[in-house]
């Protein structure tokens, strides 16, 4: 059994899996990560390796000190990736984007892919059928936009997502919700359409913490894959450990 750790900017997700298809997922905070991870590993002594992707912290010392007999697979230390990196500043490409690009390469072989990761930021990444990673775009995520309106103005309140969004907000709160959520939806649709002008056939992968919410708003046949990051981590581990 493997423990997959996805340490993002906002949340940390712990995924237990034996086959890369079914995942037992726990979401923890940065403060509770040490204690909850320790409790999880003590409850599952058959975990032999931890595989992790972290954009925010170096997790190696924690696992080395707390679980010296546990195998460690830290994607941050990889030099061999399954995709061809065409990014001009390869050293600045985030670990999370590398993992997602690897997942698209390994799980959607021979296809062009547009990966939309809707989390703290919304990232768009594009790969060609020959596994060439071209790059993409980075924009603020839903909650970052809500916070920006609150923190960079004198009186606008901090609001959050709702399921039903009106086009015309009839109060300050609903106007903010309309602007942020409809704005993000319009952005995603617009970017997809721009890609369609240049590429005739590609697979869209929508993932990240806000993916399922946004999929309900898009209403154009785009489905969220909430397990894609952990499936990508598992596929990347198997790529480097084919006999494990």
Please choose, from the candidates 120, 115, 86, the residue with its C-alpha nearest in 3D space to the C-alpha of residue 6.
120
Q: How many C-beta atoms lie closer than 10 Å to residue 238's C-beta?
A: 15
What number of H helices and E strands is found in the chain?
8, 10
**What tokens appear for 56 in the block?**
């925010």
Element (H, E) at 16: strand 12-17
Tell me whether residue 58 is one of the annotated catalytic residues.
Answer: no
Which candidate in 96, 125, 210, 225 is catalytic?
96
What is the sign of the dihedral through the CA atoms of 154, 122, 216 and 201?
Answer: positive
For the chain, what is the radius of gyration of the CA atoms?
19
Closest CA to 188 of 217, 152, 155, 157: 217
Residue numbers annotated as active site: 96
């Amino acid at each position: 059994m493997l423990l997959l750790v996805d340490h993002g900017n906002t949340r940390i997700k712990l995924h237990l899996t034996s086959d890369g298809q079914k995942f037992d997922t726990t979401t923890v905070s940065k403060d509770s990560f040490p204690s909850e991870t320790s409790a999880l590993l003590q409850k599952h002594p058959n975990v032999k390796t931890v595989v992790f992707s972290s954009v925010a912290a170096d997790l190696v010392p924690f696992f080395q000190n707390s679980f010296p007999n546990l195998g460690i697979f830290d994607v941050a230390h990889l030099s061999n990736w399954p995709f061809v990196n065409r990014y001009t500043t390869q050293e600045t490409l985030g670990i999370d984007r590398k993992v997602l690009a690897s997942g698209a390469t390994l799980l959607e072989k021979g296809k062009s892919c547009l990966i939309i990761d809707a989390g703290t930021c919304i990232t768009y990444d594009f790969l060609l059928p020959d596994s060439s990673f071209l790059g993409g775009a980075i924009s603020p995520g839903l909650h970052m936009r809500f916070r920006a309106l609150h923190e960079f103005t004198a009186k606008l309140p901090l609001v959050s997502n709702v399921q039903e969004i009106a086009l015309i907000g009839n109060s300050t709160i609903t106007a903010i919700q309309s602007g942020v959520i409809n704005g993000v939806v319009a952005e995603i649709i617009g970017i997809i359409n721009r890609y369609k002008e240049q590429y005739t056939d590609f697979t869209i992968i929508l993932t990240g913490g806000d993916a399922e919410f946004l999929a309900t708003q898009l209403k154009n046949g785009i489905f969220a894959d909430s397990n894609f990051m952990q499936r990508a981590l598992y596929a990347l581990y198997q790529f480097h450990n084919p006999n494990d």
